[in-house]
Structures are given as C-alpha cells and as structure tokens.
Amino acid sequence: MCGGGGNAPEPVDPQAQAQAQISIEQERARIEAAQRASELERQAAQREIDIGDFNTSLDAAFQGALTRGSDVITGRGLNLDDFLPQLTSSLQSTRQSIPFLDPNPGSFFGPDIADIILNRAQDTQRRGFRNTLNEFAAPGFASDLFPGTADDAILSSILNEQFQPASDSLLRAFQRGNLTDQGFQTATSQLGSQREAADARLQDLGSGVLGDFRSELRDIAGTGFDRAGAFQLGETFNPQDVQRQIESRTSDLTGRLGGNIRNVLGGEQLFNIEDLITRGGISQGAQNPNSGLFDAFASRERERDKRRGLGSEGVF
C-alpha cells in the first residue's frame, strides 16, 4: 500500500450539480420577476400620477381659457349667454385635440379664441345682412323701380298740352285766310318736325328726373350696405328698415314724378307758333297775305299765347 495521501475527494454527482444550477437559475428568475413586477407597479403608479397631473392641468387650462374668453365677451359689452355655447364648443374641440399626457396642455388654448369666435359671428351676421339687402336692393333695383318707361304717360300729356294749342293756332290762321293751303301744309309739316324735337327734349328731361330718383334710391341702399359691412356685434341694424325706407321713398317719388318734370321744364315752350306761321307765310310766295295783316295776326297770336301762359318764344 502507498501512504501519505489523505482522503480522496468524493466524485461529483452530475445530477446533483445540474439540480443546483437549476435552483440557482430559478432563484435568479424569481428575483428578476419580482423586480419586473415591482417596476411595473412603479410605472403603473407613476402613470396614475401622470394622468392625474395631466387631467388637473388640462382642466385648469380649459377653465382658464373659458374664463379669459368670457371676460373678452363681456368686456365688449356683449351678452355672455349669446356666445357661451360657441366658446365652450370651440374650447372642447381644442381640448380633444391635445395629445394625451402632453406636459403643457395650456399652450393649446390660444389667447384669441374668443376674438376668433366673435369675429366669425360678426362676419356671419354681416353676410346675412348683405344677403337680405340684396333681396330687394341688388344692382339695378333702382332701374326696376323707375324704368325708362315710367314717365311715358306724363311726357305724352305734357307734349299734347303744348302741341294741341299750336295745332289749333295754325288751323285758326288757315280758317281766317292768313295761311293758304300751301302755307298751312308747310306750317303743319314744320309743326310735325317741332313735335319730334319737343318729344326728344321731354325724353331728355324725363331721363334726367328718373336718373335723380334712381340715384336717391341707390344712396339709401348704399347707406344700408355700408352699415351692414361695418356692423359690430352689440349694435342694432335691421335690413328691413332699409327696405321700408326704399319703399316709402319710391312711393313719394312716384307721386312727384310729374311735378318734378314740369318743374324742370319750367316755362319752356316746346312749339314756336310764330315761327310756324312765318314759315307757312313765306312758303305762300305771291299768295302771301299783306304784311300788315300778317303782322297783326302774329301780334294777336302772341297776346293769346301770353294769356294762355305759353309765351311767344320757343326753343325750336
């Protein structure tokens, strides 16, 4: 036997060694699982805190914006109840657009939200006013109320009022022998020419008066459109008031149309009777009545015209 060596180590049991390693791994896994669970619990707790902080900040930002917006509305002298639903709806929309857990939700509520709402409401009101005005005062409305034919009956009446005495004077001159057939025909032809010129003159006068009437109505409508375009919330404006003004003025002007045309015409004579008789007399040539008789007739005609208020001078 050999001596001096001591006890030999026991042989390693592979199975036991493997089991020990498994135990170690299991413990490590347990510890890691416990750590993960603890971290998840911490994260969950932190998330609850973050959510609470976010909601608190969001509520505060919303309420702050609502208060500022309300102050803007009342500061402009407006009824808060009229615009609070729009303000609240706009703020709610902004609130829903804020990213979840954003660290600064207040930055999304701009300081001009109320102003934007009020300006939008004001623009909407202005458009509504203009649309209403256009229903009765669209471009060309004044010409529709006073078309070019509005004065036809009046002009025809004035023309006949002056034409008939002139025609009667020629007939009397013919019947008295101051004009022969030739002279009467010439004078009558000239009377027709004067009638055409008189009608043109009256048309010009009538057009001028109608143009003035239309201008008045356009001024009323223009003032209404100006007020609609400059309307401020809190002011009072009713387009129907403009419509009533136009209707009232139209009625008034319609009743004054004839008088205004006559005022513009004044004492102007559209027919020159003396000129007509003179031309007729000249056309008679050798058949022309003696100048003394003709002069006497012309003088009587002038006196008769004066008594009728026609005067002796014409424009044609």
Query: Domain ranges in the chain?
Result: 26-111, 141-308
Digit-coded pLDDT (tens) for 264-276? 999 999 999 999 9
- Count of residues in the chain: 316
Where does the pLDDT of residue 135 fall: very low under 50, low under 70, confident under 90, or very high at 90 and above? Answer: very high
Identify the weakest region by mean pLDDT among 50-59, 177-186, 283-292: 283-292
Percent of the chain scoring above 70 in pLDDT = 87
Digit-coded pLDDT (tens) for 25-55? 998 999 999 999 999 999 899 999 999 999 9
pLDDT over 50 (residue 315): no
Q: What is the pLDDT of residue 286?
A: 47
pLDDT over 90 (residue 303): no
Q: What is the pLDDT of residue 11?
A: 75
Output the pTM of the full model: 0.73
Query: How far from 97 is each of 66, 112, 314, CA to CA, in Å?
Result: 16, 17, 85
Where does the pLDDT of residue 15 fall: very low under 50, low under 70, confident under 90, or very high at 90 and above? Answer: confident
Average pLDDT, the chain: 89
Digit-coded pLDDT (tens) for 209-224? 999 999 999 999 999 9
